[in-house]
Structure 1
């Protein structure tokens, strides 16, 4: 398999482009020089022809003996042509000598022309010297381009090499941020993205470690309770009621363990949902439908559940399982911690930069000093595995969204759960 190197590709393309530029520039310069020299020769011959014509007319020169040599390398004669020449200037070669010829009309009635022939060997020798000099300059330029390409390639690719080396030396036990001080400004967005990814990976690893420790602790506690209760019960004969109490306790502990295991399975399903293909949904209609579904739960506590939106429609591409994981957790918690006969409001607010979804309840509020998104963190005295908000945080990270849970700031008791989705370009992901 052919291995592609960005360094070699960049170097090769830079050498090729610069070499073509030098060659084209040299060819243009040589062509311009040659054209200029030939134009000067033609102009000189034309002036000589006019001068000879004027002198010949004023002195009544005998055309039979017409032969004037103005200076070395030029022969002047008069010729009679049956047909008008197609061009006044022609070049030809005799052995090793090169000549340029001009035919200037002398006597139209007799079809006589002044013919001037000039040896242009010296001019062609000068052109050859110019060509050789250009060739040497081009070869020298190509050599300089090769060294220049090596230098520029290494200089421009050094930041990528630094970032690559930094990433290749990282593992789950060594995650550090990429410093932008020594990076060109063009690489700052890449460094920011990598640093953001590193932070997410570090947070995920931290939460996973806490999750494993918490699972072991949460499962070990009910097992220890069941074991101790059964051992005490079996130490001596008991009444049927005592055995029933022990069995009831065992069943309760098993039910709690089942809830814990179901929550752990939800984590696995949520991680799998990260790879779910995004779908196009109308977020406004989606939240309206979800609000109607949750009203069945809120009705048991006579809680009024309402939905508001500042737009009528908003089409987005996202994974429905992930957004449902977040909203369902926030709404169910709001219903759980809101007293009877109170209210919960779900609001969608779309701006140019982002879209926010808030769930505001009339509960008792939360302790903001506690990281409720960590695994096994519970609010109040309500039962549960303490993994709901942890799942919501993982789902938000997968969507590229941010979530928060804070107390209300309008003077009323309760809290506000917020989901902020960035407004991405509206296109379907493959």
Structure 2
């Protein structure tokens, strides 16, 4: 029924122990209260009789000592104590199966005489024993009810988890459906939302993996067909050395394109390795500054301008630096590729409600926002490329728990805004000095 590390078993044991302790403590206090109340009543009763007897003047004037006699159901006698003055002394004794309550009360202080009043409280003690017996039986019944309640409650608490487990166990890569969080208890809604987010990522992963395999086969098949066709045409008849050299150049160019595709596919595997790297605490602004310095010379060589504007001056976060570098590098490469000569590319950062917003703004041709820009081998613009850059950037952003977006500029200038929004849950602003 339970495993060695069962949370339900631990919860069940603790709940039963707590309820049993509560029942025991409550019943103990209840019995002590009943006992003290009844005995206090008996004590007040015997003290009242003692005061009445002590104020009886006929006893004070009597020359004969008072012998034990029955007085209103009490045994009363006068005793002399050979010790200093005491006010009152009350104690219980048992003789031959009977219980007595005895009070020593001052009578004549001149000769140190005291009243010794004894009351038979056997029936009262038997009543208290019956009460204790009934409380013990009620405790056993209460403990059994506590066990049943604990088992029922533990089943009720784990039932949503079992329901989630059953739904997830029936899913595979071909049948993945989000969980309806409205049917879950309020405490499990956040868990259901997290699972739905994970399911969405799995759906996107499966979708992109299928597109990646199909796209890879298509992208590699085309250049191979070109190489084969070119070689077949070349071999149809004898040609001059120059024509053979030209054919080999075309073949080498096609092979270079294939190598580029293979390299980008290998980058996907490397990126999965980066996701397994241990996150470390870094200053994101320092990483952006270093990356901007690396691309500034490249921009100048192409006759373009790279501007930087970082706010705040420091922002520390716990993440995989390799994934962050890959995203920013892809943004800058695309921006410089599509920006015209003498154009301007801006790398900037700012704070928002989500965290740190990193933006790369270019003056290129823009993008078609109606298509899936992150699909593998999806190409935009009139520049050559494999079409895996944004696919890798999106995968890296998902691994970082960040938001990524690509949209056209809305300030009247042609171009694109590529943004990465880092979550601020595990980050903070560095103090300025």
TM-score normalized by the length of structure 2:
0.95
Aligned partners of 1:86 and 1:264: how far apart in 2? 100
Is the 2:317–2:426 Cα contact (8 Å) retained in structure 1?
no
What is residue 127 of structure 1 aligned with on the other side?
Answer: 128
Query: 2:70: which partner in 1?
Result: 69
The Cα shift of 1:63 comes to: 5.0
**Pair 30,63 (structure 1): closer, same or farther in 2 beyond 3 Å:** farther
Q: Report the counterpart of residue 80 of structure 1 in structure 2.
A: 80
1:271 paired residue number: 272
Alignment of 1:4-403 (within 5 A): 4-56=5-57, 60-72=61-73, 74-84=74-84, 88-403=89-404
Give the superposition deviation at 1:69.
2.4
Q: Is the 8 A contact 1:301 1:339 kept in 2?
A: no
Q: Which stretch has the larger CA shift, 322-331 or 86-95?
A: 86-95
Deviations 1:61-102 (A, max 9, x none): 345135452222x20000011124696101111121111110
Name the CA distance, whole Å, in 2 between partners of 1:352 and 1:369.
27
CA contact (8 A) 2:404 2:419 kept: yes
> Take 1:86 and 1:113, find their aligned partners in 2: how far apart are those partners?
10
Q: C-alpha separation between the residues in 1 aligned to 2:36 and 2:187?
A: 46
Q: Give the C-alpha shift of residue 170 in structure 1.
A: 1.9
Using the TM superposition, give the Cα deviation of residue 22 of structure 1 relative to its aligned residue in structure 2, in angstroms.
Answer: 0.8
1:4 deviates by 2.5
Instruction: Please give the alpha-carbon distance, in whole angstroms, between the structure 2 residues aligned to 1:317 and 1:59.
Output: 94
SS at match of 1:411: coil
Equivalent-residue separation in structure 2 for 1:375 and 1:209 (angstroms): 9
Q: CA deviation at 1:6?
A: 2.5
What residue ranges of structure 1 are gaps of 5+ in the alignment? none
Farther off after superposition, 54-63 or 162-171: 54-63
How many pairs are equivalent? Answer: 426
Q: 1:136 Cα shift? A: 1.5
CA RMSD of aligned residues (A): 1.7
Deviations 1:223-242 (A, max 9, x none): 11111111121122222222
Normalising by structure 1, we get a TM-score of 0.95
Residue ranges of structure 2 left out of the alignment (5+ in a row): 429-433
Q: Is the 8 A contact 1:90 1:101 kept in 2?
A: yes
1:320 Cα offset (Å): 0.7
CA distance in 2, matches of 1:98, 1:78: 21
* 1:352 to 1:228, Cα distance in 2 relative to 1, 3 A: closer
In the TM superposition, what whole-angstrom CA distance separates every residue of 1:383-419 from its partner, at most 9, and x where no partner exists? Answer: 1111111000000000001111100011111110010
* Residues 78 and 114, structure 1, Cα contact 8 Å, conserved in 2: yes
* 83-92 vs 400-409, greater mean Cα deviation: 83-92
Deviation at 1:424, TM superposition (A): 1.4
What secondary structure is seen at the aligned counterpart in 2 of 1:176? coil
1:3 deviates by 2.6
Deviation for aligned residue 1:59: 6.6
Distance apart, 1:38 and its partner CA: 1.3
List per-residue Cα deviations over 1:27-50 (Å, max 9, x = no partner).
Answer: 110011111111111111111110
In structure 2, how many angstroms separate the alpha carbons of the residues matched to 1:117 and 1:360? 102
**CA separation in 1, counterparts of 2:425 and 2:396?**
17
Give the match's secondary structure for 1:201. Answer: helix
C-alpha displacement at 1:378, in angstroms? 1.1
Shift in CA distance, 2/186, structure 1 to aligned 2, threshold 3 Å: closer
Instruction: Using the TM superposition, name which of 135-144 and 248-257 deviates more.
Output: 135-144
CA distance in 2, matches of 1:138, 1:248: 95
Indicate the residue corresponding to 2:431 in structure 1: none
In the TM superposition, residue 343 of structure 1 has moved relative to its aligned partner by: 0.7
Task: Please give the secondary structure, in 1, of the residue aligned with 2:70.
Answer: coil
Name the CA distance, whole Å, in 2 between partners of 1:79 and 1:263. 111
Deviation at 1:426, TM superposition (A): 4.1
CA drift at 1:151: 1.8
